[in-house]
Amino acid sequence: MATPTQPLVGGLVELPRPFVSRYGVPTITHVDTAVFRRRYFTHCLDCTFCHDECCQYGVDVDLYHFERIMQHAGELEKYTGIPRARWFTKRLEVDPDVPGGGSRRTRVVKGRCVFLNRSGRGCLLHGYCMERGIDHHELKSLVDCLFPLTYYDDTLSVADEVEDNSLICLDTGPSVYRGGRVELAYYFGDEFVAALDEVEALVLRGA
């Protein structure tokens, strides 16, 4: 594998080649070195202090996963106790860089995502998948599973909540990259994380 380019202006590193997700989009060509330096609690359900604050804005669900959620709508209504008409806002965001070519945002109810498990912890979509033996990637959107990793244009980066220091569990665990490494391998492949591992090694030794 080619050695990654040295860090560029703004803390970006060019990867040895473009990496395309399993859905055909997005394509990642660069990584922001902040993903290797910033840290967060990572093990969400073990957290005793955040009160699910990261769920306060809802989440963008790409249309690929929106369609799959709706295929399970009847059973999900029974599982969640929430009618499907209350799950998403009406606005459709068109974006060719997300799976399905656009996204819908989950509604926020009483300050938290509609799919938050309010009688326990965690995501009702995730819980539904676990109870039925469904891979959670089938129903949960790419940006949801990657958080607090994200991508902007062609760059793997940290989410806004990390950038502006508003994520409550910052600086308390592994790096943002290490926390999301398994998910990155699922979406972009083992060669992608191998390339990122090389960049990580350069960054951590002060390259």
Dump pLDDT digits (tens) for 38-64: 998 766 644 555 556 667 889 999 999
User: Could you tell me the two tokens for 186?
Assistant: 């699922």
Question: Bridge-partner residues for 109, per DSSP?
Answer: 112
pLDDT exceeds 60 at position 164: yes
- Mean residue pLDDT of the chain comes to 90
- Tell me phi and psi for residue 38, to 5 degrees: -80, 145
Question: Parallel, antiparallel, or unpaired for β 108-109 and 12-20?
Answer: unpaired
Candidate from 2-16, 65-79, 154-168 with smallest mean pLDDT: 2-16
Residue 69 parent element (H or E): helix 63-71
Burial 101-110 (b: 16+ CB within 10 A, else e): ebbbbbbbee
Across residues 29-37, what is the average pLDDT? 97
Percentage of residues of the chain with pLDDT beyond 90: 78
Question: Parallel, antiparallel, or unpaired for β 155-158 and 170-175?
Answer: unpaired
| pLDDT recorded at residue 8 | 44
| pLDDT recorded at residue 2 | 44
| pLDDT recorded at residue 1 | 42
d(CA 39, CA 105): 26
| pLDDT recorded at residue 120 | 80
- Within a 10 A sphere around the Cβ of 63, how many other Cβ atoms? 19
Across residues 71-90, what is the average pLDDT? 98
pTM metric for this prediction: 0.90
d(CA 66, CA 103): 8
Which among 132, 151, 62, 141 has a CA at the least distance from the CA of 101? 62
Helix (H, G, I), strand (E, B) or coil at 117: coil
Q: How confident is the model at residue 121 (pLDDT cuts 50, 70, 90)?
A: confident
Q: How confident is the model at residue 9 (pLDDT cuts 50, 70, 90)?
A: very low
